[in-house]
């Protein structure tokens, strides 16, 4: 059996499309208001804002409550018009968007401490009880308006209260402080060696410092006793040739006046091998280090410059140049006797602060004033001048001939003789040192040198 289904005939309204399938058509561009219309609209909005009541100075979370202390209904707390689509889209009052937060009285009220309501006693705001509760904004904490120190104090005070009574807990007596760091119990440290170092460091930090006045340095004491120079003393101590009260000395050790200092015989032998050289320095060489292109005087200590009549019995050796230093100085334009030595005792004897060794000079001069040098100025040269604000030691100055003076000094300041002569109107033409202590220059030729003999002493 076959079943046939016939289609319905379309009705009269079949050609009319339904509203559901009706095509969307644009409403066209919105016409911009004219200037007059815009000004009229702004004036109307200004009048509406003027008719609205002024905001209260009391914060909304304090003022808009029910008598029981709870927030009022939504209609009482929100003054927005729900029919206004602009106010419905935003979660804040449009008046608050236009208001300057720095001039908002509510902005200042939030920073002030919460005012206590006499009707509720000391009851706190229920919304401030749980600041972390979502959807509720707690009032600003008064801790934010104080410094970090005050905030920390309040936090510590709350933490120290007894949770049962709310009162501060009684402070328990602390155990007595152990002053001896070694007596403190060690905490569990993985490395025992590190633990020992921690204890030793703590003990060193708390140990009383030894006063510097407790004696003097050993090297300084040895120099004062005339045993060696400070450099030699340090070398001997480092080599183990010095002992104090029978115990080996160490660098930097301090000694008392009653301590017994002993020096090994090897140190004396080493000192005896140190040499002192006498040089007749020519013009154009400096006494110390090379400067301004001029060679130092030590550059002349070569085997070919040793004086042929040297009777010391010593011959040049490269080791004699080690630590060879000038004991005194001569200007670059002066000549005469210059001492270079490896022996610290000789250097201290000649240029030490307490040195009394005489140095004799022959000085050729020219008088820059009319006539001849007055006797009064000659007396000033002997004992009446000062340099750089310091009085000079008395010296001996006398005429050798018409144009040459003889100076005998017990000190040696920089360019001392030249400056003394300038003070009385004399110009130095030539200067030669002919004696240091009891050792004369003699017939040693210019530019040559010799060794100091064992029977020669400066003082």
Domain boundary among 245, 272, 299: 272
Q: Tens digit of pLDDT for each residue in 258-279?
A: 899 999 988 888 777 889 999 9
The answer on 366 and 305 residing in a single domain is: yes
**Would you say 315 and 308 are in contact if contact means Cβ atoms under 8 Å apart?**
no
Tell me the pLDDT band of 214, cut-offs 50, 70 and 90.
confident
Which residues lie closer than 8 Å to 400 by C-beta, 6 or more apart? Answer: 362, 406
State the pLDDT at residue 277.
96
- For the chain, percent of residues with pLDDT exceeding 70: 59
- Cα–Cα distance, 163 to 305 (Å, whole number): 99
The answer on 376 and 233 residing in a single domain is: no
The answer on 247 and 289 residing in a single domain is: no
Distances (CA, A) of 331 to 356, 398, 418: 21, 22, 10
Identify the residue with better confidence: 50 or 399. 399
Phi (first) and psi of residue 222, to 5 degrees? -65, -35
The answer on 256 and 293 residing in a single domain is: no
The answer on 290 and 246 residing in a single domain is: no
**Is residue 107 in a domain?**
no
Active site residues: 331
Residue 122 has pLDDT above 80, yes or no: no
Q: What is the CATH number of the domain that holds 339?
A: 3.30.2350.10
- Cα–Cα distance, 412 to 437 (Å, whole number): 13
Tell me the pLDDT band of 452, cut-offs 50, 70 and 90.
very high
- Cα–Cα distance, 187 to 199 (Å, whole number): 11
**Is residue 28 in a domain?**
no
Please give the structure tokens belonging to residue 76. 């009482």
**Is residue 73 in a domain?**
no
Residue 402 has pLDDT above 60, yes or no: yes
Closest CA to 415 of 267, 281, 233, 287: 287
Residue 113 has pLDDT above 90, yes or no: no
- Cα–Cα distance, 336 to 442 (Å, whole number): 10
Q: Buried b / exposed e across 82-106, counting CB within 10 Å, b at 16+?
A: eeeeebeeeeeeeeeeeeeeeeeeb
Q: What is the CATH number of the domain that holds 241?
A: 3.10.290.10
**Would you say 235 and 244 are in contact if contact means Cβ atoms under 8 Å apart?**
no
Residue spans of alpha helices (H) in 209-280: 218-224, 230-239, 265-272
Please give the structure tokens belonging to residue 237. 């101590």
Q: Tens digit of pLDDT for each residue in 227-243?
A: 888 888 898 899 899 99
* Rg of the chain over all Cα atoms, to the nearest angstrom: 53
Domain boundary among 272, 290, 317: 272
Q: Tens digit of pLDDT for each residue in 289-315?
A: 877 788 999 999 999 999 999 999 889
Place of tokens 């029977």: 455
Tell me the pLDDT band of 5, cut-offs 50, 70 and 90.
low
- Cα–Cα distance, 198 to 185 (Å, whole number): 12
State the pLDDT at residue 15.
52
State the pLDDT at residue 148.
59
Distances (CA, A) of 38 to 28, 29, 32: 21, 18, 9
**Would you say 153 and 162 are in contact if contact means Cβ atoms under 8 Å apart?**
no
Identify the residue with better confidence: 67 or 349. 349
- Cα–Cα distance, 280 to 300 (Å, whole number): 10
State the pLDDT at residue 145.
43
The answer on 233 and 368 residing in a single domain is: no
State the pLDDT at residue 141.
44
Provide the domain limits for residue 234: 216-272
**Is residue 62 in a domain?**
no
Query: How many separate domains does the chain show?
Result: 2
State the pLDDT at residue 325.
92
**Is residue 32 in a domain?**
no
The answer on 290 and 359 residing in a single domain is: yes
State the pLDDT at residue 144.
46
**Is residue 187 in a domain?**
no
The answer on 360 and 248 residing in a single domain is: no
The answer on 428 and 343 residing in a single domain is: yes
Averaged pLDDT for residues 123-133: 48
**Is residue 407 in a domain?**
yes
**Is residue 109 in a domain?**
no
Domain boundary among 236, 253, 272: 272
State the pLDDT at residue 446.
95
Place of tokens 């000033």: 380
- Cα–Cα distance, 452 to 448 (Å, whole number): 13
The answer on 389 and 326 residing in a single domain is: yes
State the pLDDT at residue 419.
93
Residue spans of alpha helices (H) in 126-182: 148-159
The answer on 397 and 336 residing in a single domain is: yes
The answer on 255 and 350 residing in a single domain is: no
């Amino acid at each position: 059996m076959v079943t046939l289904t016939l289609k319905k005939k379309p009705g009269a309204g079949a050609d009319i499309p339904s509203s559901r399938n009706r095509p969307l058509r644009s409403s066209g561009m919105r016409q911009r208001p004219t200037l007059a219309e815009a000004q009229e609209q702004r004036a109307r909005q200004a009048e509406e804002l003027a008719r609205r009541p002024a905001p209260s100075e009391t914060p909304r979370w304090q003022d808009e409550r029910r008598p029981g202390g709870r927030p009022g209904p939504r209609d009482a707390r929100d003054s927005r018009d729900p029919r206004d689509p602009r106010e419905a889209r935003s979660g804040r009052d449009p008046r608050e968007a236009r208001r300057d937060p720095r001039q908002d009285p509510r902005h200042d009220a939030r920073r002030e401490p919460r005012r206590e309501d006499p009707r509720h006693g000391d009851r706190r705001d229920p919304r401030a009880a749980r600041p972390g509760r979502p959807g509720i904004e707690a009032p600003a904490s008064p801790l934010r308006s104080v410094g970090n120190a005050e905030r920390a104090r309040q936090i510590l005070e709350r933490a120290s209260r007894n949770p049962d009574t709310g009162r501060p807990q009684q402070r328990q007596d602390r155990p007595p402080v152990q002053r001896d760091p070694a007596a403190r119990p060690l905490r569990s440290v993985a490395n025992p060696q590190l633990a020992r170092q921690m204890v030793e460091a703590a003990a060193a930090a708390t140990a009383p410092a030894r006063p510097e006045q407790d004696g003097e340095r050993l090297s300084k004491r040895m120099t004062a006793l005339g045993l060696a120079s400070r450099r030699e003393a340090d070398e001997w101590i480092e080599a183990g040739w010095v002992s104090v009260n029978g115990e080996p000395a160490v660098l930097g050790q301090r000694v008392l006046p009653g301590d017994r200092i002993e020096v090994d015989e090897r140190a004396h032998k080493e000192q005896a091998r140190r040499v002192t050289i006498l040089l007749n320095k020519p013009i154009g060489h400096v006494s110390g280090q090379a400067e301004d292109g001029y060679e130092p005087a030590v550059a002349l200590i070569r085997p070919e410059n040793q004086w042929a009549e040297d009777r010391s019995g010593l011959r040049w050796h490269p080791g004699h140049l080690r630590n060879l230093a000038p004991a005194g100085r001569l200007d670059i334009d002066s000549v005469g006797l210059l001492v270079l030595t490896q022996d610290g005792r000789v250097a201290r004897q000649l240029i030490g602060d307490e040195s009394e060794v005489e140095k004799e000079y022959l000085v050729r001069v020219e008088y820059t004033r009319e006539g001849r040098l007055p006797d009064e100025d000659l007396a000033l040269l002997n004992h009446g001048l000062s340099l750089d604000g310091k009085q000079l030691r008395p010296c001996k100055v006398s005429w050798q001939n018409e144009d040459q003076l003889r100076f005998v000094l017990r000190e040696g300041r920089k360019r001392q003789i030249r400056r003394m002569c300038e003070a009385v109107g004399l110009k130095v033409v030539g200067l030669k040192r002919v004696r240091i202590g009891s050792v004369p220059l003699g017939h040693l030729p210019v530019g040559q040198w010799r060794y100091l003999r064992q029977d020669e002493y400066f003082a």
